[in-house]
Amino acid sequence: MGFGSPVYGGYRARMLIERVGFIGARGHTHYVFSGLERMPNVRLTVLADGAPDCPVAPVAKWCAEHRHEPEMYPDWRDMLDRAKPQAVVVCGPFEQRTTMAIEAIERGIHVFVEKTAALTFEDLEKLRAAHRAHPSVHLACMMGHRYEPGIYTAAKLIREGAIGDVRLFNARKSYKLGKRDAFYSSRDTYGGTILWVGSHAIDWILWMSGQRITSVFASHSADHNDNNGTMERSAACLFELTNGAIATASLDLFRHANAPTHGDDWIRVVGTAGTIEAKSGAVTLINANNDGGKPVEVACDRQIFVDFIQGIEGVRSPLIDAAQTLALTEACLIARQSADDRSVLRRQVGY
Same domain, 70 and 170: no
Measure the CA–CA gap between 89 and 2, rounded to whole angstroms: 24
pLDDT band for 6, please (50, 70, 90 cuts).
very low
Residue 1 is predicted with a pLDDT of: 46
Q: DSSP character for 114?
A: P
Residue 70 is predicted with a pLDDT of: 98
Same domain, 223 and 99: no
Q: Which domain holds residue 56?
A: 9-144+307-314
Measure the CA–CA gap between 106 and 131, rounded to whole angstroms: 8
Same domain, 167 and 80: no
Q: Is the pLDDT of residue 8 over 60?
A: no
Same domain, 139 and 112: yes
Greatest Cα pair distance in the chain:
60
Asked if 70 and 46 count as a contact pair (C-beta separation under 8 A), the reply is: yes
- We report the CATH number of the domain holding residue 290 as 3.30.360.10
Span 176-180, average pLDDT: 96
Going by their DSSP bridges, the two strands 139-141 and 71-73 should be labelled as unpaired
Closest among 278, 253, 255, 282 to 266, alpha carbons compared? 278
To the nearest 5 percent, what fractions of the chain are helix, strand and coil? Answer: 35, 25, 40
Same domain, 139 and 163: no
Closest among 148, 143, 257 to 202, alpha carbons compared? 143
Distance of CA 336 to the CA centre of its chain: 16
pLDDT band for 7, please (50, 70, 90 cuts).
very low
Q: Is residue 341 part of a domain?
A: no
* pLDDT tens column, 109-161: 999 999 999 999 999 999 999 999 999 999 999 999 999 999 999 999 999 99
The number of domains in the chain is: 2
Same domain, 153 and 295: yes
Same domain, 264 and 189: yes
pLDDT band for 211, please (50, 70, 90 cuts).
very high
Looking at residue 32, its amino acid is V
Question: How many Cβ atoms sit within 10 Å of the Cβ of residue 97?
Answer: 29
pLDDT band for 15, please (50, 70, 90 cuts).
confident
* pLDDT tens column, 49-81: 999 999 999 999 999 999 999 999 999 999 999
Residue 3 is predicted with a pLDDT of: 57
